[in-house]
Structure 1
Amino acid sequence: MNNIGYQTHYYFQIYGGMIFLKANTKEIMKMKSYNWAIVGPGRIAEDFCSEFPSEQTLYGVASSHDPNKAKQFAKKFNIKHTYQDYEDLLNDPQVDIVYVATTNNFHFDNIKHALTAGKHVFSEKPVTLNTSQLQELITISKEKHLILMEAQTIYHMPLYDKLTEFIRDQQLGQLKSIQVSFGMHIDKTQTKDRLLNPNLAGGALLDMGIYAISFARRFMTAAPKLVATQMVPTSTGVDDVSTYLLTNDNNELCTMNFNMLADMPTIGYVIYENGYFIIENYLRPENAVFINADTGGKQLIIAGKTDIAMGYEALDMAKAVETGDNDTLDWTVQTMNVMTQARKDWDFKYPNE
């Protein structure tokens, strides 16, 4: 686990003709520690626990089909409590927050049961398969005064808050265009691969595209709307290659492409009237380069650490539980709206929707 409760201060430094906006960090007062329980002890849950902040408590874990798997997971991460099944976990009054790390097709049921049991929920993306499922869960969470938050790194990396300040302070003018894509090579002969399996809600959109759409929403000043999309399916029926054009009420445009063909660099371009950002590794970025439109001058903006990205998520979730302010939920809803509309335009549904 990582100790990542920090307050960040920034300063300018000139080196080799480039202006660097760098960050100093210092530890701040720890917030309340909540008891977290893991549902779905797989690979993504391992990553989450490896980056989990020391200010919070990994309290329990359960597997839906193999209690021994939960015990092995608990031993690896020094988690004191294991359960026979999810129901047993949800009946534990000491559990404050449930982290849902199951495959996409199970998210809705897992989250609904946790909320109904009175637990706050932090779920891996996509939080649900479609907008109607998400709205049902939001209704339950509001009725029970609980936090439902999506584990989307783009909403929680410190760099994005720093870029928001930079955009405001430097008066960059109107956002004009965003270009962002995601590609990953998937062996199509392995038809049982989760990403190729429609029964597990596979495909490029929900697993890869959600990052790019969330990236666009992070900068757009109004909710994105899907203008056009095209998709080519795999032999299993899920989306293999797809393209998108988004806009919003402020005439901001975004073009994107997702595919399961090639491992592509994750680079986003955000273009304003007075310059543009290049953001590499936009899923978990530590830095961005701003290029001035008039002078061509470059500024390197640095904040946060890639290797504790999921720790930032956990701290923001704890803060939301403590304050009741769930600042990222609207972004989650608007991103889900785009993905739901895209699949509607393709006339594609998952078997268990």
Structure 2
Amino acid sequence: MTNYNWGIIGPGRIAVNFCEQFPEGQTLYGVASAHSLAKAQALATEFKIPHVYPSHEALLADPKIDVVYIATTNNAHYENIKAALAAGKHVLAEKPVTLNSAQLAELNQLAADKKLILMEAQTIYHMPLYQRLLEVVQEKKLGNLKSVQASLGMHVDLADKTGRLLNLDLAGGALLDLGIYALSFARRFMTATPKLEKTVMIPAETGVDDGSVAIISNANQELGSFSFSLSARGPEVGYAVYERGYFIVNHYLRPEQAIFVDGETDQQQVITAGENKRAMGYEVLDMATAVETGTNPTASWTVDTMALMTAMRQEWGLVYPDEK
């Protein structure tokens, strides 16, 4: 695999996790921040990143950088990605890659025109366990997928309106930060593009979505049901139900194992693959492979999941300021 030079835009908490799990064989080359040079310097010092840039523009102008990792707040992804692609850089962007489907379509076209890779840093698309589960489906002849179920919630103090997750200007809310994982979980198993059937949302006082439920389906008669919440911590458990058995995936954001339950005997089998502590490293390696081959196997999943979230917000009438 080719060793690429990586630049980081946005030296916040998620970028720290990214650097902690960055794999051997790739190079952390530079970092930039639009708001805090000190944060960029601190990240560079901690992880021995050799170059710190005074601005995003300076990082993107460096011809030695091959791939840019976007780790800014949700509302800034579109502009950051657009600038990176325009500068001729491949992009791995934190989820959600954009705010809506129109933005994503524009950026995908720009990437295609420039023969660049734009990939979403969605752990569910890159954890080895998911590929292993799909192999088990074939090995055990489980038949057709019938339904997928997933929920996700965290307890945020709704009285403290200063946090990012409650900030409409930063595209906070349960859907883009939590719901995207459950929808991506479903898309990883579904065999055709899903469509939204029904959704209901309860808003927080700040205007972001606090809680919601959704039902989806597709042309292959596969169903999905979901619930998300900012104000109530819920189980991080996903289910994929086939004709002759089902999987229970605990901690499905970055899972190392799942339980297979035989539909006829109720016997259980633990299936393992990958390591939780290497989750973001798998994203990096898959991105490097995509750049090397010129093919992004996760692109359609990102498009389909974004379409679901866009449709959900349209039903709710929820628009972010940066979309106006």
Q: TM-score range by the shorter chain?
A: over 0.9
3-state secondary structure, aligned to 1:352:
helix
Letter in 2 for 1:182: L
Is 1:281 equivalent to 2:254 in the alignment?
A: no
Partner of 1:12: none
3-state secondary structure, aligned to 2:181:
helix
Question: Structure 1 CA distance, aligned partners of 2:285 and 2:48?
Answer: 19
Question: Structure 1 CA distance, aligned partners of 2:212 and 2:82?
Answer: 31
Question: Structure 2 CA distance, aligned partners of 1:340 and 1:282?
Answer: 23
Matches within 5 A, 1:39-50: 39-50=9-20
Partner of 2:237: 267
3-state secondary structure, aligned to 2:322:
coil
Question: Structure 2 CA distance, aligned partners of 1:78 and 1:207?
Answer: 30
Partner of 1:335: 305
Question: Structure 1 CA distance, aligned partners of 2:228 and 2:38?
Answer: 37
Superposed displacement of residue 71, structure 1: 1.1
The unaligned stretches of length 5 or more in structure 2 are none
3-state secondary structure, aligned to 2:187:
helix
Is 1:296 equivalent to 2:259 in the alignment?
A: no
CA RMSD of aligned residues (A): 0.6
3-state secondary structure, aligned to 1:136:
helix
Is 1:101 equivalent to 2:71 in the alignment?
A: yes
3-state secondary structure, aligned to 2:8:
strand
Question: Structure 2 CA distance, aligned partners of 1:263 and 1:49?
Answer: 28
Question: Structure 2 CA distance, aligned partners of 1:176 and 1:139?
Answer: 34
The structure 1 segments of at least 4 consecutive aligned residues displaced by more than 3 Å after TM superposition are: none
Superposed displacement of residue 55, structure 1: 1.0
In the alignment of these two chains, the number of paired residues is 323
Question: Structure 2 CA distance, aligned partners of 1:193 and 1:66?
Answer: 19
Partner of 2:208: 238
Question: Structure 2 CA distance, aligned partners of 1:190 and 1:85?
Answer: 31
Letter in 2 for 1:84: P
Superposed displacement of residue 68, structure 1: 2.0
Question: Structure 1 CA distance, aligned partners of 2:77 and 2:37?
Answer: 20
Letter in 2 for 1:52: F
Q: What do residues 189-238 of structure 1 show as CA deviations (whole Å, max 9, x unaligned)?
A: 11011000000000000000000000000000101110000001000011
Superposed displacement of residue 66, structure 1: 1.9
Superposed displacement of residue 69, structure 1: 1.7
Question: Structure 1 CA distance, aligned partners of 2:118 and 2:188?
Answer: 19
Letter in 1 for 2:125: Y
Partner of 1:22: none
Is 1:310 equivalent to 2:280 in the alignment?
A: yes
2:116 aligned residue (146, 162, 171): 146
Greater gyration radius:
1
Question: Structure 1 CA distance, aligned partners of 2:282 and 2:185?
Answer: 16
Higher helix share: 2
